[in-house]
Amino acid sequence: FQKHEFFVDMTCEGCSNAVTRVLHRLGGVQFDIDLPNKKVCIDSEHNVDTLLETLKKTGKCASYLGEKSAQ
């Protein structure tokens, strides 16, 4: 799997819950949400476009930051 990092304009728990909800609905993803830094790191076989479209379903501004190298 490739780890991808996205910026999502989250301001509160409600925002991060919305992200969690849409990603669970998509399925096949593992992710970490970094609320203070407004980042979502996703581990998935889905392509970036699919993930970005999914994140945008929250109604938040979302953008792709790049691949995160596996530690």
Please give the CATH topology (third level) of the domain spanning 2-68: Alpha-Beta Plaits (3.30.70)
Q: How many CA atoms lie within 13 A of 55 on its CB side?
A: 27
pLDDT at 1: 65
Q: Other C-beta atoms within 10 Å of 67: how many? A: 11
The model's confidence at residue 59, banded by pLDDT at 50, 70 and 90, is very high
The model's pLDDT over 11-54, given as tens digits with 9 standing for 90+, comes to 999 999 999 999 999 999 999 999 999 999 999 999 999 999 99
Three state DSSP letters for 4-24: EEEEECCCCHHHHHHHHHHHH
